[in-house]
Amino acid sequence: MKLLLKGGRIVDPANNTDEIYDILIRAGKVERIGKKLGKEQREYDLSGKAVLPGLIDLHTHLREPGREDTETIASGTAAAAHGGFTTVCAMPNTNPPIDSVSGVKYVLTTSSQEGKIGVLPVGAITKNRKGKALTEIGKMSNAGIVAISDDGDGVMNSRVMRRAMEYSKMFGIILISHCEDHDLSKEGMINEGITSTKMGLKGIPSQAEVIMVARDIALAGLTGCRLHLAHITTSRSVDLIRDAKNRGVNVTAEVTPHHITLTEKDINAYNTNCKVNPPLRTEKDRRALISGLKDGTIDCISTDHAPHLDTEKEREFALSPFGMTGLETAFPLAMQELVRSNKLTLSKLVEKMSANPASILKKSGIGRIEKGLDANITVIDTELEKEINKEFFLSKSKNSPFKGKKLKGFPILTLYRGRIAFKDEKVFS
Ligand code: DOR
């Protein structure tokens, strides 16, 4: 069955395209891209809409296996499609963690049966994510992992990290580092500074991140591995990454939508939905992250989608878990903060949310719209406004500080391999 996407503005930085075209899709693949490709029985008029390569998230917590009450592969991928994503990398801090071939196979099989979009598994660096003994990185990469990470926790032992980098290089996968010195961050809840003092909450100094960014850059220089730094939050980290890139170190980095839109001040009413790790930082840091995105120091925007139940979040600040959901608000937040305020063009934003994540993963079949490739396509109505409330979310968890806010610029159609993974029924009624 053919599907025709008519008259949308294709924004595809990997192919240097920003122009109005039709796209003809057949058997899940892009068959033709051109002007006025005629009529089809199944067609969508997308005039005035932006047509992007499906968004790619390098950092998603799908929680399956183990915490299916908060998210499953089925619900998490439905939320991802709702947010315009067609590929997500599933972090291994599940219960049990994905630290063996059988775990990797479980994620791959379940996502192929129940997933709405593509799921690329990430394996743990160390067994049980304890930071001590390495996992069977080679066997897991043969089974299909695209990266290794102990995300949620840093790897404190530099010798273990060095060996992990050597293995990741040997097997051609990336190492995603959660940069946190746990001795420094211990018992901390929010950024250390005036706000933490005023609120009476124990702080996490920015140095807990900076020290590990510096160490991992040094180890990447030593080992030559492809190092990707997760959820960068401090101005000093951005400087270190900029310098490392100038010296030719093989390092890439991401920021989250929340760290570029919120600061520690947003926690003011002890809002546990603002409790994230690494914590929201200062206005100076927030601006430095955006400068990093602008000058290319920061390669991509990743969600760190971290679902938690209301019953877990509605506790004292100290007892509430770290994390907020992100897949469904990432694109409108980035549009608002970066594109509508003229800091990045729409094409640059698509680079950060699709083309660059694909090239970091070294996957040439995603992150672009091209004849012969899978039709992974996201259609955005840049003018569509929605109020974020509980009903808005397809994720099983609703722990978002953006509830009650109005955002603009939402996906209205997400195609994964030519099939509809999400469609806004109000728009296409
Ligand atoms: O806030 C966070 N939540 N940061 C992490 O690194 C882990 C995540 C989670 O898994 O909940």
Check residue 40 and give its pLDDT: 95
The active-site residue out of 12, 304, 374, 381 is 304
Q: For residue 86, which of 407, 396, 374 has the smallest C-alpha distance?
A: 374
CA distances from 29 to 111, 229, 359, 370, 417 (A): 20, 33, 20, 9, 6
Q: For residue 400, which of 260, 282, 276, 231 has the smallest C-alpha distance?
A: 276
Residue 409 CB less than 6 A away from ligand 1: no
Q: Which residues pair with 374 in a beta bridge?
A: 29
How many CB atoms neighbour CB 296 within 10 A?
Answer: 13
**d(C-alpha 73, C-alpha 60), whole Å:** 11
Cis preceding-peptide flag for 279 (omega within 30 of 0)? no
pLDDT tens for each residue of 180-237 = 999 999 999 999 999 999 999 999 999 999 999 999 999 999 999 999 999 999 999 9
Question: Ligand 1 atom 4: the closest Cα is on which residue?
Answer: 277
Q: Which two tokens stand for residue 161?
A: 């990290």
Residue 253 CB less than 6 A away from ligand 1: no
CATH of domain 3-51+373-428: 2.30.40.10
Cis preceding-peptide flag for 357 (omega within 30 of 0)? no
DSSP per residue, 267-302:
GTTT-GGG--SSPP--HHHHHHHHHHHHHTSS-EE-
**Ligand 1 atom closest to Cα of residue 230:** 6
Q: Which of 304, 305, 327 to mutate to test the pocket of ligand 1 (most atoms within 8 A of CB)?
A: 304
Question: Ligand 1 atom 3: the closest Cα is on which residue?
Answer: 323
Which runs of E-coded beta strand occur in 69-124? 85-90, 118-123
Residue 306 CB less than 6 A away from ligand 1: yes
Among the four given CATH numbers 3.30.300.210, 3.20.20.140, 3.40.50.1000, 1.10.10.10, the one describing domain 54-361: 3.20.20.140
Residue type, 2: K
45 part of the active site: no
How many CB atoms neighbour CB 404 within 10 A?
Answer: 9
Percent of the chain's residues with pLDDT above 90: 99
Collapsing DSSP to helix, strand or coil, 159 comes out as helix
Pairing relationship of beta strands 174-177 and 147-148 according to DSSP bridges: parallel
Q: Which two tokens stand for residue 346?
A: 């729409």
Residue 323 CB less than 6 A away from ligand 1: yes
Domain ranges of the chain: 3-51+373-428, 54-361
Would you give per-residue pLDDT tens digits along the chain (429 residues)? 899 999 999 999 999 999 999 999 999 999 999 999 999 999 999 999 999 999 999 999 999 999 999 999 999 999 999 999 999 999 999 999 999 999 999 999 999 999 999 999 999 999 999 999 999 999 999 999 999 999 999 999 999 999 999 999 999 999 999 999 999 999 999 999 999 999 999 999 999 999 999 999 999 999 999 999 999 999 999 999 999 999 999 999 999 999 999 999 999 899 999 999 999 999 999 999 999 999 999 999 999 999 999 999 999 999 999 999 999 999 999 999 999 999 999 999 999 999 999 999 999 999 999 999 999 999 999 999 999 999 999 999 999 999 999 999 999 999 999 999 999 999 998
Check residue 429 and give its pLDDT: 80
Question: Ligand 1 atom 7: the closest Cα is on which residue?
Answer: 152
pLDDT tens for each residue of 348-380 = 999 999 999 999 999 999 999 999 999 999 999
